[in-house]
Every structure is written in C-alpha cells, then in structure tokens.
Structure 1
Amino acid sequence: MRNEMVVSISSVIARIKNVLTQTMDLDGIWIQGEISNLTKHRSGHYYFSLKDKSGEMSCVMFSSYVSRLNFNVEEGMRVLVSGSINVYEQRGSLQLVIRQMKQDGLGDLYLEFEKRKQDLLRAGYFDESHKKAKPDYIENIGVVTGAQAAALQDVLSTIQRRWPMMKVTLYPSLVQGSFAPKSLIQSLKEADTHNHDALLIVRGGGSFEDLFCFNDIQLVKTIYSLNTYIVSGVGHEVDTTLCDLVCDHRSVTPTAAAQWVTLDQYEVMTQILKDRELLRQNMSMILNHNKLKLDSYKNHP
C-alpha cells in the first residue's frame, strides 16, 4: 500500500459534500413531490421525505423557515419546495434543506382519506354520544396488533411496569398492507366475544401509506359496532387515522394506550399508605375520646 492513499470515511463524506454543494445549484428551481414520513419536532423543525412514483429524498426544514409558512403541512400533501442540497455528515445521507414551500394540491391518498372522513362524519360514526364510558376498573384486556410488532412490546412493558397483575390476551393481526383491514376486523370481532374490560388496537409509527389500512371504512364500521370499550394507539402524536376517530378513546401512541387502561402500582401503594395512616389517626382519636369518657364515668359513677 506504499503508493495508495488511506483516508477516513469522514474526509470522503466531506469531499462529497463539498463537490455537491458547490456544483449542484438549485437556486430558482422548485422541486415537486409528495410529503411522507412527516415529523414535526418539538424544536419546530420539520423532517420528512419528498417523493414521487420513482424516487424519494430526505428533507429538513428548520423552524425559522417553518414559521414563515401560511398553511398547515400534512402527511400526503403535494408541495413545491426550494432550497439547497446537503450531505448530513454523521450518516453520510443526502438531503434537501428546504427554505420555501408552497402547496401543489393534495396527494391521492390524502384526498381519499378526507373523502372517507367526511362521509363517515356525516353518517355519525364519530359522534361523541356513541362512545362508551371508560370502565371504573380494568383488569382484563385484549390487544389487537402484530404478534412481532414493537407496539406490542411497548404495551407489555408499560403494563408490566405499571400494573403487572393485568390479564392480557393477544389477538394477532396484520397491521400494514391491503390484507390488514380484513385481518384487523376478524381479530376485533373475536376479541369482542371474550368479555374483556377493554380492547387496545395499536401500531407503531409509519408513513401515511403504512397507516392507511386503519382508514378502512369497514374497519371503522366494525369498531363502531363493538360492545367492548376500545382504545386506539396507532402511530405517533402527529398521526390521525379514522380508527382513532371512531374508537371510544384515542391515545397518541401504543405506550399511551397502555397507560390509559392501567393503574400505576406505585401511586396506588402511596395512596394505600396515606389511607392507612389516616385510619390509624382517626382510630387513635376515637379511642382517646372514648377513654376520656370512660374515665369520666369511673370518676362520677
């Protein structure tokens, strides 16, 4: 290797970044695409992918530019963006740094979502008056999700930490793809016959397309007809599906759904100790009061 040069990966990435940023001039160019995997970070930055039928690219829009937008950015929205090319050196990934964005219509899936939402809303499937009240005490639940899904582990670990005496029954189902709605419906119908205190339908985060099976019309109608109190925990906080809207309670994540149906064993223990001390104090007061009365009777027969 005497005549060969050895360089670090970081220096190679830096060289690539330097070449791209100096030679790839995007000034005056509007890039068209559909937003996918949108994450609105608490810092105010937006992270998402911009895609069309043949390609996809990671994008970032920093909060200073986000604040200038005059519309609400949504998953599945078609947009025009302008900015510059960049290489994120820590991962060696190519990304667009967006400085401007404007609407270019809505994606087909998003339009379909809105149509279904309005139709079901008018038909009364999302009415608050139909939603069942949360049971006073929940000790037996069914969970509808993928058997190998990360969402299931989130639910189980949360229950184990908060209320390990909870009885949990899994009803495995597909949670993505064209066959998922039918699978979810079958699992929900089966779970509804087993007299659970509550049912959880959960799935972790994903793109608008990944979660679209939870916008199935027959799935919504099935959930509406269930006798059991049902909680949804689909996707992340920014994700909203028609399944969320029809369920008796919507939690923003699978973990939040598990928290909603469980007591916290440490909070319960703290309350028990407080109640025990209050009982002890009250009994002591009663005994002392009656002791004084007894002494009075003895002294004045």
Structure 2
Amino acid sequence: MTFSSNERFDSASDVPAEERPVNERKALSVSAALNIAKSIISENAFHIVGEVSELNQKPGYKAVYFTIKDENSALPCLMWMNRYKSAGVPLRLGARVEVVGKFTIFTPKGRMNFDVSSLKLAGEGDLRAQVAKRALMLKNEGLMDPARKRSVVAYPATIGLVTSPRGAAVHDVLRTLRRRYPLVKILFAGVPVEGKQAAADLISGLETVIRAGAEEVLLVRGGGSLEDIMPFNDEALARFIAQSPVPIITGIGHEPDTSIADMVADVRASTPTAAAEAVSPSRFELLEALDSFGARMSQVFLHRIERSINYVNAFENRPLFRDAHYLYANDLQWLDHTQARLEGALGRFGEADKVKLEGVGLRLTSALPHMITSQLQSLD
C-alpha cells in the first residue's frame, strides 16, 4: 500500500502521520479515504458460503447483482456477466451457494460489494463425486458401450416426448418438429423433471410413450444447476434407457456437465432443439429424397421399357413374324403327304374289290341255271 508524501507526513514534522494522534493528522478527502479502504480490502480473496436472498438480473446489465446471507448478516455481491455465464449455475432465490472473490468499494456511492470471480452450488462437490462414481460403475457394466447403442429411425411415423409440460423445452421441441417434419405423430408424456420423485416419473413417462407405440423417444429438459438435473443421473433411469426397446435421444440443456442419462442414451444432443433436429429429417431433405427417388424410378422404368422394346423387336425379326406360313408350313406338307398316301391306298383297295366282284359275278352266272333247275325239280 502506497501513500502520497503529503498524506503520510506533515510538512512541519518528519513523524509519520499514522504515528501521531488522529486529531493531529491531515484530513483525507472522501475519495482518498475510500480509495485507501478499497486498496486494503481488495488485497485478499475470500471463500464464502450463503443463501441467495436477493437477485437482480436484467437484460442489458453487465453484471448480475445478488445478496447472500446467513442467520446474522447479509452481503451484497456482483458477478460480471461473462463470469456468470461461464459458471453455468443459474442463480435462484433460496439457493445455497459458494462464492470466491474479493471485497471492493464502489467509490461514487461509497458502497461495499463482494466481487465474485467463481460460483457454485454449496455441496456441489459431493454431488459431482457421487455422479462420477455411479457413472464409472455403469460404464464398467457396458451401459455406455457405443456398440450397444442404436441409430435413430430414418423416417419415424411416431415420436415420443417426455419432459415437463411447463417451460421452454416442450415448446422448442414441438416447434422444431412441426417446422421440419410436420407429418410425424407425437406422443407426449408431461412429467416433473426435477425433485426427489422426478426420476421415477421420468421412467413412467418413458414407459407410457413406448407402450403407446413410439418408434423413438426424446427425453429432454431445459438448463439448470447440477442439483436440478440430478434426476437424470439416477441409476434406475440409466438402466431403463439402456434396456429400452426403442432408441432414446436426450437433450438436457446443461453445460458443461453431461448427465448419466446422456452417457447411456442412444443419441445425445446438447439442447432440446438439437435433440428434435436429430430425429427429424427436414422438409427440404424429404423433398430432395423424393426427387432423388423419383429420378431413380424414372431410370428404372425407362430401362425396363427399353428392354421390352428390344425384346419385341427381336421377335419381330424372326421368320415366324415375317412369314406366317413359316408357322405351319411343315404341317401343311405333312397333310399333303398323308393325303397322297390315303388316295394311293384307296385306289389299291378299289382295284382288288373290283376283281373280287367280277369273280363272284361269273360264279353266280354259271351257277344260276343249275340252281333254277334244282328248284323246279323240287317242285315236281
């Protein structure tokens, strides 16, 4: 700490001012006194825990202003917006937080604040340790093995959605699906996404939409603190996701942490909107796919028509189609040959019969007088 010479020494004496009685020291200006106090109190960093009792966070502000308290005292705090966003811990009234920073004085108003450099929820370290231990156990069992995970359905007819009925997540997903893939049927299960019973409610919601016929399911929620997303670190929920008969896609908007549900899910997206995009082909992609399919079908049909034309032309060039007699010429020749054979046979049979008849006639002629004479004699 440095003082100017006219503040440390009296002009008539070489005795330092701070060693003389207060009433004999030279008076400081308000600004000088506050600057001295500011330089003294800002030298050391402090680690403080307390409950958020006031919160002022407005659009356009460069900092977040809040107050933490315990049973006896309250401390006004500020945290610059870039630090606050990096911390990833949304403040809310009643939350117990741990802050690290330095005291500072806003000299124009003479107000003391605690300038927060880092922020986390109180007890968050224990929660992280629990989550890490559980995640390692499930990983060793193979629940996070990429080979186990399934791909999303290319063109699903029915998609399940499990999230809170209130909040931005459900609206973000529905808006995205209607814009990109309006033909899909959505089965919605509205359940609590935080609290002690939330994990059981999430499992129940998943069971409901799967039983109703969902081909794949979106499990989503908006941002929140580590404590808020603890239901998504539940062991029973993780095992249900791993054993689900249909793909489950998570979109849990909490960065930089990744929940166990994210690790086990078939597909993990960073936000509910990104999850909806992951399961829905866009309208433009569908049109492109249809155009491509139509072009391929046209090529197939044209190829088949061309083959049919070539096939007909090949038959047309055969002798059978150039001269119809070619079809039955052999049969006609066979008929002519058969007719000639029949006529020859009939001719031969006729000559033989004529000779026989003439012989019979001669015999009758010679025998007739004798037969008449015999008959006359018998009459006498």
Q: CA deviation at 1:182?
A: 1.2
Q: CA deviation at 1:268?
A: 2.0
The answer on whether the counterparts of 1:230 and 1:248 sit within 8 Å (CA) in structure 2 is yes
Q: What's the counterpart of residue 146 of structure 2?
A: 128
Q: 2:172 aligns with which of 154, 159, 182?
A: 154
SS of the equivalent of 1:263 reads: coil
Q: 1:75 to 1:268 in 2, by over 3 A?
A: same
The answer on whether the counterparts of 1:211 and 1:235 sit within 8 Å (CA) in structure 2 is no
> 1: CA distance between counterparts of 2:185 and 2:176?
13
Q: What's the counterpart of residue 79 of structure 2?
A: 59
Q: What's the counterpart of residue 96 of structure 1?
A: 115
Q: 1:193 to 1:239 in 2, by over 3 A?
A: same
Q: 2:198 aligns with which of 164, 168, 180?
A: 180
Q: What's the counterpart of residue 27 of structure 1?
A: 42
The answer on whether the counterparts of 2:42 and 2:104 sit within 8 Å (CA) in structure 1 is no
**Could you report, residue by residue, the CA deviation over 1:90-133 in whole angstroms, capped at 9, with x for unpaired residues?**
xxxx77363x99xxx97221121112112222222212222123
> Which segment is superposed worse, 245-254 or 23-32?
23-32
> 1: CA distance between counterparts of 2:211 and 2:296?
43
Is 1:266 aligned to residue 281 of structure 2? no
Q: 1:21 to 1:198 in 2, by over 3 A?
A: farther
- Root mean square deviation of aligned Cα: 4.3
Q: 2:187 aligns with which of 169, 172, 177?
A: 169
Q: What's the counterpart of residue 189 of structure 1?
A: 207
**Could you report, residue by residue, the CA deviation over 1:188-239 in whole angstroms, capped at 9, with x for unpaired residues?**
1222223321011000111111111111111111212211111001114534
The answer on whether the counterparts of 1:33 and 1:50 sit within 8 Å (CA) in structure 2 is no
Q: CA deviation at 1:275?
A: 5.5
Is 1:225 aligned to residue 225 of structure 2? no
Q: Give runs of ≥4 in structure 1 deviating > 3 Å.
A: 19-26, 47-58, 60-63, 73-76, 78-87, 270-291
TM-score, normalized by length of structure 2? 0.53
SS of the equivalent of 1:114 reads: helix
The answer on whether the counterparts of 1:86 and 1:97 sit within 8 Å (CA) in structure 2 is no
The answer on whether the counterparts of 2:65 and 2:77 sit within 8 Å (CA) in structure 1 is yes
SS of the equivalent of 1:255 reads: helix
Q: 1:22 to 1:113 in 2, by over 3 A?
A: farther
Which structure is higher in helix share? 2
TM-score, normalized by length of structure 1? 0.65
Q: CA deviation at 1:134?
A: 2.4
Q: CA deviation at 1:172?
A: 1.4
Give the greater-gyration-radius structure (CA): 2
The within-5 A match list for 1:222-301 is 222-273=240-291, 276=294
> 1: CA distance between counterparts of 2:35 and 2:162?
48
> 2: CA distance between counterparts of 1:239 and 1:282?
51
Q: CA deviation at 1:81?
A: 3.9
Q: CA deviation at 1:261?
A: 0.6
Which structure is higher in strand share? 1
For this pair of structures, how many residues does the alignment match?
247
The answer on whether the counterparts of 2:242 and 2:264 sit within 8 Å (CA) in structure 1 is yes
> 2: CA distance between counterparts of 1:127 and 1:111?
22
The within-5 A match list for 1:40-59 is 54=70, 59=79
Consecutive unaligned residues of structure 1, counting only runs of 5 or more, are 1-18, 35-46, 67-72, 88-93
> 1: CA distance between counterparts of 2:216 and 2:172?
17
Q: Percent identity?
A: 29
Q: CA deviation at 1:173?
A: 0.9
